[in-house]
Amino acid sequence: MAAAALAATLLAGAAPASAADAGRVGPSAAPDHELRRALDRVVADGAVGARVTVVRDGHKTTLRAGTATLEGRRPVPLHGRFRIGSVTKTFVATTLLRLAAERKIRLDAPVSRYLPGLLPPDKGNAITVRMLLHHSSGLPTYVDAIPAQGPAFLRHRYRHYDARELVDRVAAAPLLFEPGGGWAYSDTNYIVAGMLIEAVTGRPWTAVVTGRVLRPLGLRATSAPRDETRIPGPHAHGYYRPAPGARPVDISALNPSLAGAAGAMISDGADLDRFLSALVGGRLLPPKYLAELLRTDAAAGGYGLGIHRFPTSCGTTVLGHNGEIHGYHTMAATTPDRTRRVVWSVTTTEFPLDPEQPMATSLRKLLDAAVCSRGR
């Protein structure tokens, strides 16, 4: 959830851990000074901790900086899990496209065909499945209609949110534009997408994503929790500052139902790299539906169906998604030929990340270093 500001940015305590803390896998043992400097800058600009894995032509490098907790000295786990926020959307879009390939759902059918009564007729009959995945439905985001910020969020952090309740918060609100007539990133689209998965399969979206994507790829560190509040296994802690100048609160534990199919999932670096490589490499979708997913729209800032195109300073474009949820920033991206791939997780105290903050600039430079550097 709340990945739009960070995506726009990427389009346009204790001391950090040293290079000796790097984990390196593969034939190359050359130090990646440019990547190291970029990662250290992310921490210097406000992150609590940061971890990045980069694959370049078969050479894999994992680096970390900062600490696992705000007031401790323990380093960020090299193989720890983290909340992936809106990277969840790529999993959900992939699952819906698999269902479309099986003729269980049609991309250009109206939402009302599968979820009658969820939206008023003028919306439900006009908004298609494709528009949801592409963020061209015109539905406003429900995030602005729930206590997702400030002290109120902390009071409700363990509360369960039903998907229908989240949609109902904005179902009667005016559309941002006529369905199909514009583009605006809205988490409501993917809450409805999760409900569509449930409507056509009769199972929770979490179970369907697990059965159709996670298990076939052996993604054992990845999960789609419903109300489980804690991150399983080793993990760096994320924080949330409820007001300017306020003391940050450890927000690692929360009820992820507030994000649902828009951003509830948990993963680690190796799993996200395996998933994205398998997806772009054609292992999860037939060619026709992979082409649908990857057909990005310049008018939509390079967005496709649950995937984004990010430019870099060297002219190389990568495919993937970024994610933002309280305490955690994530990026998972690959070049179309999969020769260069990057996954990072950054823990911080600010949500959402202000595109004007120095950390936003340092994240953009981290992407450049990961994709454009020669690794020396």
Which residues sit opposite 62 in a β-bridge?
23, 53
- The whole-angstrom separation of Cα 311 and Cα 334 is 11
Find tokens 């032509």 and name the residue: 57
Q: Which of 86, 186, 223, 373 is catalytic?
A: 86
- The whole-angstrom separation of Cα 118 and Cα 27 is 54
- The whole-angstrom separation of Cα 132 and Cα 179 is 10
Two tokens, residue 113: 């065909």
- The whole-angstrom separation of Cα 120 and Cα 129 is 16
Find tokens 């309280």 and name the residue: 326
The one-character DSSP state at 75 is B
Q: How many other CB atoms sit within 10 Å of the CB of residue 185?
A: 20
Two tokens, residue 82: 């983290």
Two tokens, residue 14: 């204790």
How far are the Cα atoms of 217, 305, 335, 342, 361 from residue 338, in angstroms, in the given order? Answer: 17, 19, 5, 10, 25
- Angle between helix 163-171 and 187-201 (nearest 10): 130
Is 86 among the residues known to form the active site?
yes
DSSP H or E run through 134: helix 129-134
The closest alpha carbon to 60, from 34, 31, 27, belongs to: 27
Angular region, 135: left φ>0, alpha ψ -120 to 50, beta rest: left
Two tokens, residue 4: 């739009």
Q: Are 255 and 365 in contact (CB under 8 A)?
A: no
Supply the residues annotated as catalytic.
Answer: 86
